[in-house]
Structure 1
């Protein structure tokens, strides 16, 4: 069982910590510029995406490999993308001659991508996404 492995627990702790740091950087940048979605939002989105990715992989994927047919850990990742699209849509406002919130929606999406990358063990990709955002 996955929850009995101290090695797995340490890996989860390290990945969640990395996701926290990277998403904090994005959130701090947004807070410094006083944007609608700031530090807490970006950290929550990134940590949630990382946590759900870890659950997807270790809870439903590799943790039970060979114990059932049709198990696909990528299904949760697809739902994260859809959910973040819905969340991002909520911060976009359209007026007569302007549209606001597109960049905020994009940063929420990239924060989710950072969390998902780190949660799936692709730490360098998560770091590069953070650098690309900055």
Structure 2
């Protein structure tokens, strides 16, 4: 069985996978830095795997429901996250790391559909959450947040519609 798209398009898809790998490593390096249970390799594999599953759902199985694959990626990552969380008498540990793995899968999925800007933006947002906000609440003592973090958003899209992305991908896959 031959892959339904040509080599040139597959090279572009390989760039999407590489982007997912690189962006996922940014989140993973942060978790490694703090010696968390899921670090660099886990995040890289999660983001890359989510990217490849997303690509396969769009190109290898034309006509099937891509949303089913997306839903199952989220379910699988939830299972992985559940394994990362450690229960203790006084609470749970590594919940933030599990959430980071979940967000890394979303970054991989965004890269998989070719939403490069979105994937980069979410990586930045997750990194800020993990790296900068870690300093805001340190050792259970809340500190004043930097003024820039209080700034309201200036642009709020009234509607996000991803259907043109999927329509373009299916048109390419079915051509």
- TM bucket by the smaller chain? 0.7 to 0.9
Q: After TM superposition, give the deviation of residue 7 of structure 1 in Å.
A: 2.2
2:28 aligns to what? 27
Give, in whole Å, the separation in 2 of the partners of 1:95 and 1:27. 24
What is the aligned residue count? 126
- 2:90 is paired with a residue whose SS is coil
TM-score normalized by the length of structure 2: 0.68
Give, in whole Å, the separation in 2 of the partners of 1:111 and 1:28. 12
Contact in 1 for aligned 2:5/2:59 (Cα 8 Å): no
Over alpha carbons, which structure has the higher Rg?
2
2:49 aligns to what? 48
Give, in whole Å, the separation in 1 of the partners of 2:5 and 2:55. 15
Q: After TM superposition, give the deviation of residue 125 of structure 1 in Å.
A: 1.1
Change (3 A) 1:129 1:4: closer
TM-score normalized by the length of structure 1: 0.88
State the superposition RMSD in angstroms: 1.4
Instruction: Name structure 2 gaps, 5 residues minimum.
Output: 128-175
Contact in 2 for aligned 1:3/1:9 (Cα 8 Å): no
Give, in whole Å, the separation in 1 of the partners of 2:10 and 2:120. 22
Instruction: Name structure 1 gaps, 5 residues minimum.
Output: 66-70
Give, in whole Å, the separation in 1 of the partners of 2:5 and 2:76. 31
**1:119 and 2:112 correspond:** yes
Give, in whole Å, the separation in 2 of the partners of 1:4 and 1:133. 33
Higher helix share: 1
2:92 aligns to what? 99
**1:108 and 2:101 correspond:** yes
Detail structure 1 runs of 4+ shifted over 4 Å in the superposition. 1-4
> Relative contact order, CA 8 A, sep 6+: which one is greater?
1
Q: After TM superposition, give the deviation of residue 82 of structure 1 in Å.
A: 0.3
